[in-house]
Amino acid sequence: MTGFGILIAILVPILGGALVPLLDFDARRAREYYVFAIVLATSVYTLSLLSSGQGSELVLYHLTSTIDITLRIDRYGSIFALLVSVLWPLATLYAFEYMSHLHKKNRFFGFFTICYGITLGVAFAGNFITMYLFYELLTLATVPLITHEGTREAKVAGVKYLVYSIAGATAAFIGMIAILTHGGSLEFAVIGLGDAATPENRRLFDLAFLFMFFGFGVKSAIWPLHGWLPTAGVAPTPVTALLHAVAVVKSGVFAIGRVVYFTYDAGYLAGSMVQKIGLAFSAFTIVYGTVMAWKEIHFKKRLAYSTVSNLSYIVFAFLLVTPSGLTAGLLHMMFHGLMKIVLFFVAGTVMHQSGRIYVTDLRGFGRAMPVSFATFTIASLALTGIPPLCGFLSKYAIAEAALAQGSPLAYAGVAALLVSAVFTAAYLLTICVRAYFPPADFEPWSLKSVKEANLYMTLPLVLLTAAIVLLGCFPGALQAFIGGVVPAAFPGL
């Protein structure tokens, strides 16, 4: 398979998505067939690419003598692409139903599908500039989705998101250019700094790392750059779920992984000041995010803060700069995607079916919406880290990696992980308790009008929950797949 296959995978959803507003579907059915066909085709094609096209590469354009636009399938990117291509069709299915009551559907699905292509672009980017390209495009393509409702709140959220993201991307860009200018390489295939990492350049490279870390840290919601994420929850739930729990934020995390393992290397970062700074910030964010989630009563915002916390698990794992840290982070990246999308979907389903947005309003919902809350409970348990659900596995992996690394900050990270686990239980399980065990004065007739959502919404939920359970029990194949990234990231091993 030639590298052009990658381009096709990226362009099909982008062009297909761009066509949605132009074709201007009136009939819901037609739009759904069309969008789903594109998304599904892309997913199937991407999965086939992942299995058959490893290592293929396409140099799209020589932008300057030092900067190429390159697409490449490597193992690291494949992991992200796998996550995205599995989740997207399900989220699309969910979105069909969720959006049925909202206006401007053509615009929504247009951008929603475009984002798919762009996210794949992030996954398949072969160097930093290519990734920066797709990263920026992702920001721009998601802004209309956030402001979709057109309310003042939505606009403010959109602007906030834009400000944070652009600032981050620019800072990261500056970091990249600093590396490039001082003799480093932005290609992912090689160890980026190479011989340029002389002691004289070290201060500059450290600064560049911080720029890139905090630059990409915006999308991965490192404290204090997380502010956009909770407010972006005003977007329609499929967007919040897929983009702000998976695609967008994971692209930030993904990018940090790229920085850590494919530009700087373990030899440079291990024990360095910048690693410590990164670890400290991510460990703090882990705690901060859960505490904020615990204090928050808005359902989606609570989940958003939970995302803040969980993203830092991944960043923390990446920053351990050990093989096990890398695989642990990637594992959590996959699993958190699954878990969080279920949680968000349930939040959205609740909103869609009953219009309730606060966790305190969910008394007795377990009876009213049994499927949704069953899935929610399982996902909550998984996120809390109860074995043998998948969340436990990744947390375990992260903790083991941290212990193996053994620095004081790694131990602090383990502590943060545990504190966060307690709070996670507190903020998620209370919702379940409230939903299943309403107080004695609860009047069931008040939920008479609340019905379980239809198959469009429950099917993705059930499938994803099944994945949570099954992957938790039988992670072997996935772990092996993820483990394949180690030789590329640690060529010395």
Partner 1 sequence: MTQLFTLLKISDGLAIQFGADGLGRMFLCLDTVMWILVGIYAFKYKEHMKHTKRFFAFYLLTYLMLAALSMAANYLTMYLCFEFMTLLSMPMVLQDGTPESIAAARKYLMYSIFGATLGLLGFFFSAHYGAGTVFTPGGLLDPAKVAGNESKLLVVAFLSIAGFSAKAGMFPLHAWLPTAHPVAPAPASAVLSGVITKAGVLCILRVMYQVYGASFLAGTWVQKALIVLSLITVFMGSMMAYGEDLLKRRLAYSTVSQVSYVLFGVFTLHPVALLGALLHVIYHSIIKDGLFLGAGAVIFTNHKEYVSQLHGMGKRMPVTFGCFTVCSLGLIGIPPFAGFLSKWYLAAGSLSEGLPVLSWLGPAVLLLSALLTAGYLLPISIHGFFPGEGEKEAEGKEAPFQMLFPMLVLALGVVVFGVFAQPLADALLRIAEAMF
Partner 2 sequence: MSLVQNVPAFSILLLMLCGIVCLVLPRRAARHLADCAIALVAAASVALLVYFLQGGAAYTYSMGEIGAPFGNELRAGMLEAAVATLFSIVTLLSLMGGRAHLRSDIGRLKVNLYYISTLFLLCSMLALVYTNDIFTAYVFVEINTITACGIVMSKEDGYTLAASMRYFIMSLIGSGLFLISICILYAVTGHLLMSNIQEAVAQLYAQGEYRAPLQVAIALMGVGLSLKSALWPFSSWLPDAHSSASASSSAMLSGLVLKSFIFLMIKIFYRVIGAGIVRTHAVLDLLLVFGILGMVMGSVNALFERDIKRLLAYSSVGQIGYIFCGVGLGTPAGVAAAMVQVAVHATTKAMLFCAAGGLMDASGGSKKFRDIEGAGRRDPYAGVAFIVGTLSMIGIPFFGGFITKLSLVQAAVTVGGWRNLLSILAIIVSTILTAIYYINVLAIIFRAPETAPTKASEKLKEEWKKQVRLDTEYEVAIVLFILLNLAIGLRSDQLMQIITTGLSMFG
Binding residues for partner 2 (CB under 8 A): 61-65, 67, 69, 103-104, 107, 129-130, 132-133, 136-137, 140, 143-144, 147, 150, 159, 162-163, 166-167, 170-171, 173-174, 177-178, 180-182, 204, 208
Q: What are residue 289's phi and psi, to 5 degrees? A: -60, -45
> Cβ of residue 281: shortest distance to partner 2, in angstroms?
19
Candidates 331, 321, 303; CA nearest to 484 is: 331
State the binding partner of 45 from partner 2, partner 1, none, CB within 5 to 8 A by kind. none
> Cβ of residue 164: shortest distance to partner 2, in angstroms?
9
* β-strand partners of 58: 71
Distance CA 376, CA 258 (A): 32
- 3-state DSSP assignment of residue 266: helix
State the binding partner of 474 from partner 2, partner 1, none, CB within 5 to 8 A by kind. partner 1
* β-strand partners of 127: 187
Nearer to partner 2 by Cβ, of 75 and 226: the residue is 226
State the binding partner of 171 from partner 2, partner 1, none, CB within 5 to 8 A by kind. partner 2
> Cβ of residue 133: shortest distance to partner 2, in angstroms?
4
> Cβ of residue 321: shortest distance to partner 1, in angstroms?
18
Nearer to partner 2 by Cβ, of 173 and 216: the residue is 173
Nearer to partner 2 by Cβ, of 163 and 473: the residue is 163
Distance CA 252, CA 283 (A): 17
Residue 428 C-alpha from the chain's centroid: 19
Nearer to partner 2 by Cβ, of 231 and 420: the residue is 231
State the binding partner of 426 from partner 1, partner 2, none, CB within 5 to 8 A by kind. partner 1
Nearer to partner 2 by Cβ, of 156 and 404: the residue is 156
Q: How many CB atoms lie under 10 A from the CB of residue 486?
A: 18
> Cβ of residue 78: shortest distance to partner 2, in angstroms?
23
Contacts with partner 1, residue ranges (CB under 8 A): 381, 384-388, 393, 396, 399-400, 403-404, 414-415, 418-419, 421-422, 425-426, 429-430, 433, 436-442, 472-476, 479
State the binding partner of 182 from partner 2, partner 1, none, CB within 5 to 8 A by kind. partner 2
Candidates 422, 409, 423; CA nearest to 296 is: 423
Contact assessment for residue 214 and residue 168, using Cβ atoms and an 8 Å cutoff: yes
Amino acid found at 492: G
Nearer to partner 1 by Cβ, of 356 and 367: the residue is 367
Nearer to partner 1 by Cβ, of 4 and 442: the residue is 442
State the binding partner of 425 from partner 2, partner 1, none, CB within 5 to 8 A by kind. partner 1
In angstroms, what CA-CA distances link 335 with 376, 412, 475?
15, 23, 10
Q: How many CB atoms lie under 10 A from the CB of residue 373?
A: 24
Amino acid found at 217: G
Please tell me whether the peptide bond between 224 and the residue prior to it is cis, using omega within 30 degrees of 0.
yes
Q: CB neighbours of 426 closer than 8 A, spacing ≥ 6?
A: 294
Please tell me whether the peptide bond between 388 and the residue prior to it is cis, using omega within 30 degrees of 0.
yes
State the binding partner of 35 from partner 1, partner 2, none, CB within 5 to 8 A by kind. none
> Cβ of residue 68: shortest distance to partner 2, in angstroms?
10
Distance CA 318, CA 163 (A): 26
Q: Which tokens go with 183?
A: 């003799």
Q: What are residue 209's phi and psi, to 5 degrees? A: -60, -45
State the binding partner of 452 from partner 2, partner 1, none, CB within 5 to 8 A by kind. none
> Cβ of residue 255: shortest distance to partner 2, in angstroms?
15
Nearer to partner 1 by Cβ, of 240 and 322: the residue is 322
Nearer to partner 1 by Cβ, of 61 and 437: the residue is 437
> Cβ of residue 182: shortest distance to partner 2, in angstroms?
7
> Cβ of residue 265: shortest distance to partner 2, in angstroms?
21
State the binding partner of 306 from partner 2, partner 1, none, CB within 5 to 8 A by kind. none
Report which secondary-structure segment, H or E, holds 58: strand 57-62
Q: For 78-111, give the DSSP string.
A: HHHHHHHHHHHHHHHHHHHHHGGGSS-HHHHHHH
**How far from each other are the two terminal CA atoms of the chain, in whole angstroms?**
29
Nearer to partner 1 by Cβ, of 123 and 397: the residue is 397
State the binding partner of 115 from partner 1, partner 2, none, CB within 5 to 8 A by kind. none
Candidates 241, 259, 293; CA nearest to 188 is: 259
> Cβ of residue 453: shortest distance to partner 1, in angstroms?
24
